Amino acid sequence: MSNILVIGGGFGGLVTAKRLALELGKEHTITLVSPNRTFTFYPALVRLVFGDCSVDEITFDLPEALAELGVRYIQGEMTAVHPMLKRVAIEGGDINGEVSYDYLVIAIGRRLALGQIPGLREHAHHILGTKAAMKFSRAIDNFNEGRIVVGLSPGSRLPVAVCETAFALARHFDEKVKDGSISISVLFPGSLEDAFGGARLHDTLLEAFDRHKIHAHFDVPVSEVTKDEVLSTKKHRIHYDLLMLMPPFRGFTNLRELGIVDDDDFIKVDEKLRVEGMPASYAVGDAVGLSGPKLAHMAVRQAEVAAANIVSEIKGEEPREAYVHEVAAVIDSGGPDSIFLHYGVWKDEQTIKKGRFWSWAKDAHDAYWRHKAKK
Ligand SMILES: Cc1cc2nc3c(=O)[nH]c(=O)nc-3n(C[C@H](O)[C@H](O)[C@H](O)COP(=O)(O)OP(=O)(O)OC[C@H]3O[C@@H](n4cnc5c(N)ncnc54)[C@H](O)[C@@H]3O)c2cc1C
């Protein structure tokens, strides 16, 4: 009997645990550790901000969903890994001590490095989490005129949500954008190609921004935020009256001493998603050190690959499944400018499609996924 420990209860952790439970049955023990008892469907957070769904519709009880799968849940936070002993130190509600494993899957997402940009924490909104999203929502409700700036910080890896927020603001304030009392600007630290991991959608996206009267600014690496201005390393000073800035993403510093992380503390993996230099360990999702945007569909695909390879190892076989790094995303403009992007980061192959269909498709896909993840 093998003892598999999954750390993290987001897309990566939940899908890994679910796949393992379905493949392995009750013969092996699968345990998931997460500080949060709630699973949040992050891709719907932009809709939450604009009142298109409720918190209850995009969250569910994680221990309940895991219990139905036969997966044990521990509420707690991983504070250290001892690979030689195959043990993980956990602190939290259910346990303060060490838990052993035969196989480890690290799916702890990303850390928001708010302190990297002075003033960001105090003056800017972000939407990473239901509380932050609702706070931004209230600020929008109280906003009447002036300049709204939304942007991606250097090192932030979520361009889809930034673009969708800009489109949703343009729809929400349609009349005021037309009469000029509200303007919307979107900032990127480099080019759109950089933001989307190499995908070439500059012309398509710029055309859509133009049609919605959204002013797009490129090469604005934000370095500081004051109470009414965004400053960049390239000497920009951009005034704002309402600001949503996606914070820089980093990995977790407590893995540094193991020598398994890159310069931004993301975990280094091989194509089978095994953690480099740490036997019997896999990493999936935003925590992994791969280039380009960090997206849920990548976390899901990585979870499937890691689970398949663990099953092979348990059967005494070589891990066979390899991960292919691809961006597949819908940028929902709420109408005919919605974009479907499929881009092979390692292959440089790209498909772009445009149309209202992609807005409906994203809505339907989100609803289907939320339902499926709960079951
Ligand atoms: C506003 C927004 C919009 C988005 N839109 C899209 C979209 O349209 N399409 C798309 O594909 N993706 C989208 N994403 C990205 C997607 O949500 C993430 O890529 C995905 O959540 C990553 O999954 P994950 O499991 O790696 O991390 P997470 O979902 O962040 O889960 C990490 C888990 O690990 C837990 N954890 C953290 N530290 C520890 C620790 N030390 N010990 C134990 N547990 C720990 C956390 O509590 C959490 O449960 C969006 C994200 C946001 C915020």
Q: What's the pLDDT tens digit per position in 275-284?
A: 999 999 999 9
Q: How far is the CA of 86 from the centre of ligand 1 (A)?
A: 25
Q: Kindly state the average pLDDT of the residues 224-228.
A: 98
Question: Within this chain, do residues 237 and 257 fall inside the same structural domain, yes or no?
Answer: no
User: Looking at the domain assignment, is residue 278 inside a domain?
Assistant: yes
Q: What residue ranges line ligand 1, CB within 6 angstroms? A: 7-13, 33-36, 42-43, 45-46, 77-78, 107-109, 127-128, 158, 160-161, 285-287, 294-297, 299, 329
Q: Kindly state the average pLDDT of the residues 9-30.
A: 94
Question: Within this chain, do residues 57 and 189 fall inside the same structural domain, yes or no?
Answer: no
> Exposed/middle/buried for 372, CB within 10 Å: 0-12, 13-18, 19+?
exposed
Question: Within this chain, do residues 89 and 139 fall inside the same structural domain, yes or no?
Answer: no
In the three-class reduction of DSSP (H, G, I as helix; E, B as strand; rest coil), residue 367 is classed as: helix
pTM for this structure?
A: 0.95
Q: Kindly state the average pLDDT of the residues 92-109.
A: 93
Q: How far is the CA of 317 from the centre of ligand 1 (A)?
A: 31
- Domain enclosing residue 205, as ranges: 116-247+327-359
From residue 314, alpha-carbon distances to 1, 4, 37, 323 in Å are 9, 10, 29, 19
- Write the residue with the smallest CA distance to atom 15 of ligand 1: 295
Question: Which of 14, 33, 42, 135 to mutate to test ligand 1, by most ligand atoms within 8 A of the CB atom?
Answer: 42
Contact partners, residue 173, CB within 8 Å, separation at least 6 = 148, 182, 184
User: Looking at the domain assignment, is residue 321 inside a domain?
Assistant: no
For the CA of 14, the nearest atom of ligand 1: 25
Return the CATH number at 206. Answer: 3.50.50.60
> Exposed/middle/buried for 108, CB within 10 Å: 0-12, 13-18, 19+?
buried
Q: How far is the CA of 319 from the centre of ligand 1 (A)?
A: 26
Question: Within this chain, do residues 28 and 154 fall inside the same structural domain, yes or no?
Answer: no
User: Looking at the domain assignment, is residue 322 inside a domain?
Assistant: no
User: Looking at the domain assignment, is residue 181 inside a domain?
Assistant: yes
Alpha helices in the chain (DSSP H): 11-24, 45-49, 55-58, 62-69, 120-123, 130-141, 159-172, 174-179, 192-195, 202-211, 296-314, 356-374
Question: Within this chain, do residues 331 and 204 fall inside the same structural domain, yes or no?
Answer: yes
The pLDDT assigned to 364 comes to: 73
Question: Within this chain, do residues 275 and 255 fall inside the same structural domain, yes or no?
Answer: yes
pLDDT(369) > 70: no
Helix axes of 11-24 and 62-69: crossing angle, nearest 10 degrees: 20
Contact partners, residue 254, CB within 8 Å, separation at least 6 = 78, 79, 80
User: Looking at the domain assignment, is residue 370 inside a domain?
Assistant: no
CB atoms inside a 10 Å sphere around CB 198: 16
Question: Within this chain, do residues 289 and 344 fall inside the same structural domain, yes or no?
Answer: no
User: Looking at the domain assignment, is residue 375 inside a domain?
Assistant: no
- Write the residue with the smallest CA distance to atom 39 of ligand 1: 108
Q: What angle do CA 13, 16, 17 make, to 5 degrees?
A: 85
Q: How far is the CA of 132 from the centre of ligand 1 (A)?
A: 14
Question: Within this chain, do residues 64 and 213 fall inside the same structural domain, yes or no?
Answer: no
User: Looking at the domain assignment, is residue 184 inside a domain?
Assistant: yes
The number of angstroms, rounded, from the C-alpha of 256 to the middle of its chain's C-alpha atoms is 21
Question: Within this chain, do residues 165 and 135 fall inside the same structural domain, yes or no?
Answer: yes
Question: Which of 34, 255, 288, 368 to mutate to test ligand 1, by most ligand atoms within 8 A of the CB atom?
Answer: 34
pLDDT(361) > 80: no
- Write the residue with the smallest CA distance to atom 7 of ligand 1: 43
Q: How many domains does the chain have?
A: 2
- Write the residue with the smallest CA distance to atom 49 of ligand 1: 9
Question: Within this chain, do residues 222 and 286 fall inside the same structural domain, yes or no?
Answer: no
Question: Within this chain, do residues 41 and 11 fall inside the same structural domain, yes or no?
Answer: yes
- pLDDT one-digit tens code per residue, 71-81: 999 999 999 99
Question: Within this chain, do residues 231 and 344 fall inside the same structural domain, yes or no?
Answer: yes
User: Looking at the domain assignment, is residue 364 inside a domain?
Assistant: no
Look at 368 and 345; give whichever has higher pLDDT.
Answer: 345
First to last CA, the chain: 26
For the CA of 9, the nearest atom of ligand 1: 49
